[in-house]
Structure 1
Amino acid sequence: MRAQPIEGIERIEAWFKGKAYAMHRHDTYAIGRTLAGVQSFNYRRSRRDSLPGNTIVLHPDEAHDGQAGTGEGFRYRMIYVEPAFFQDVLAGRALPFLEGGVTTDPRIAAATETLLQRVGHTLEPLEQSDALAELAHALAAVAGMPQARGKGDYFAARRARDYLHANFTRVVTLEEVETATGRDRWSLSHDFRTFYGTSPHRYLTMRRLDAVRRMLLSGTSLASAAADAGFADQSHMTRHFLKTFGLTPGRWLQIVGSAPCDCSPTIVQYGPLAAAYS
């Protein structure tokens, strides 16, 4: 099941048996709750196992895969949050990082309760905003982050993010970004990773892939979606799509395009629904 994305937050619930999805990475936080079974994944060079009631917190740009830890399969809910939402709350502090990928900390469990409700529940705008703020503060507290801002120029990084967001469908030069931010490219790259968890180019590529997903769901062809989103060609887009989501655009569209909203979860023996988002 998947909810309609609202304000940059995506919410899904899924069930898998066997292998769920290949190694991939994305530029959002992936935060979820295992509901049944054993949810296993490789993350930061180790296998992790999440049991029912555990909370999963995957940092942006960290590679991971997914599979059932037992023959019974597993069921989970997950939200995908753009780092910029947490930055709005943390006001320039470095992004929280929780080592391990799985936590039983009650502060994180409590802070995710609202956002990890059943997919059929529609979150009101203020409800979602308050829940994101609570989650950002809980992540920072559990990560042991200081109250002071991280080292770097947060406002330059935010100007770079806004500029890339507004111009992702075309080639953006380093000189343009330097001019737009008033920061040299090397310092800006460090700032961007500190405050948004990924590189400027990776952020640009992800915005193009977001546009491709929207266009594919509306019926646009692969070639047209690739060109309109700013990729050199369809094969260029497909390579990035596979590396990011763990499956090809055609396979993603086949699964996600038919996934129900607000109804019983789609059972997938192999070929991940969640790889499109996890």
Structure 2
Amino acid sequence: MTQDWSRYWRASDRPLEAMHAHFERHVYHRHSHETYSFGVTETGAQSFSCRGSAHTSAAGMIMAFNPDDPHDGHATDELGFTYRMVHIGPSLVENALSDSTGRHTGLPLFATPVVNDQALAARLRALHAALLDSGTTALRRDELLTATIAGLVRRAATTPLTEQRRPSRSTTIARQARQLLHDRVMDDLTIDDLARSTGTSRYAVYRAFHAKYGLPPSDYQRQLRLRAARTLIADGTPIAEAATATGFADQSHLTRWFTRYFGLTPGTYRQATTPDTALPTRARAR
């Protein structure tokens, strides 16, 4: 029997979530987040691929993912790993980095997915513990959040996250296909639909999309539907209804993919709609 477990917390009023988990057998499907995601490995080691390379985060190391950074993840060995993860929306990062005049300095880019910095790891653990502790005041959480973002950017970020002034043809194709997926997230689109919308061939649109976003269009579409289901569940929609509304065959189908992408079941996520309901949960044997 697996010893996997997870604990989740979600802010009710802003894009801020936290996870504390131990995984021995769970394997993350390749996915990305719409947030910045910062994790610190406490015990063991997690191996994952990101941006075309293989990485390992051992105890004391930090994982730093930009929004829409595709990655997977699994235990490096049979002993598993324990880690803390904080997901922070880009708007919170931008606000935390505003200068004294209130001007925004732009979003940072973390070029290295694994950072070995003990001071940053300690700061991230302190923020994570405060988020999961229902006795921590809102003011203290905000202080730790601002200080942690500033420290991560100062010590681990490289350059502002900016777009090319003149995107290549391939990038333009990928963005157009992505927009169609967002606009028609519940439609049963085909690769021909994507090709027609971009004025190119099926192969060209697939190649451009995968190169830009690190996922096939079908995986990206499923991810959009999972995010939509997650929002519905957080808003109180019954899980079975959320599954139907977002294009999944039934609740068990949604649960399988939800767990593979997010590391916890929809039911566990529903319990985390407020800080006081973040409870430790034993994962199913896989």
Whether TM exceeds 0.5 here: the answer is yes
Corresponding residue for residue 275 of structure 1: none
Aligned mates of 2:73, 2:198 — CA distance in 1 = 33
Question: 1:158: how far off?
Answer: 1.5
Which amino acid letter does the alignment assign opposite residue 170 of structure 2? D
Corresponding residue for residue 243 of structure 2: 226
Question: 1:10: how far off?
Answer: 4.4
3-state secondary structure, aligned to 2:188: coil
Aligned mates of 1:11, 1:38 — CA distance in 2 = 21
Give yes or no for the alignment of 1:56 onto 2:63.
yes
Corresponding residue for residue 74 of structure 2: 65
Give yes or no for the alignment of 1:76 onto 2:76.
no
Aligned mates of 2:230, 2:193 — CA distance in 1 = 27
Taking a change above 3 Å as real, the CA distance of residues 189 and 33 of structure 1, as seen in their structure-2 partners, is same
3-state secondary structure, aligned to 1:186: helix
Q: CA contact under 8 A between 1:160 and 1:177: conserved in structure 2?
A: yes
TM-score (norm 2): 0.60
- Counterparts of 1:122-201 in structure 2, within 5 Å, are 153-201=170-218
Can you give the 5+ residue segments of structure 2 that lack an aligned partner in the other structure?
Answer: 1-7, 94-105, 132-137
Give yes or no for the alignment of 1:259 onto 2:268.
no
Give yes or no for the alignment of 1:22 onto 2:30.
no
Question: 1:63: how far off?
Answer: 2.1
Q: CA contact under 8 A between 1:31 and 1:55: conserved in structure 2?
A: no
Which amino acid letter does the alignment assign opposite residue 40 of structure 2? T
Count, aligned residues: 236
Corresponding residue for residue 219 of structure 2: 202
Taking a change above 3 Å as real, the CA distance of residues 236 and 33 of structure 1, as seen in their structure-2 partners, is closer
Taking a change above 3 Å as real, the CA distance of residues 69 and 267 of structure 1, as seen in their structure-2 partners, is farther
| CA deviations over 1:111-159 (Å, ceiling 9, x no partner) | x98xx68545459xxx8xxx79x96xx6566xxxxx8988652222112
| CA deviations over 1:30-56 (Å, ceiling 9, x no partner) | 632428x425323247753131xx321
3-state secondary structure, aligned to 1:78: strand
TM-score (norm 1): 0.61
Taking a change above 3 Å as real, the CA distance of residues 20 and 67 of structure 1, as seen in their structure-2 partners, is farther
Aligned mates of 1:264, 1:235 — CA distance in 2 = 23
Which amino acid letter does the alignment assign opposite residue 55 of structure 1? I
Question: 1:170: how far off?
Answer: 1.6
Percent of matched pairs sharing the same residue: 21
Corresponding residue for residue 17 of structure 2: 11
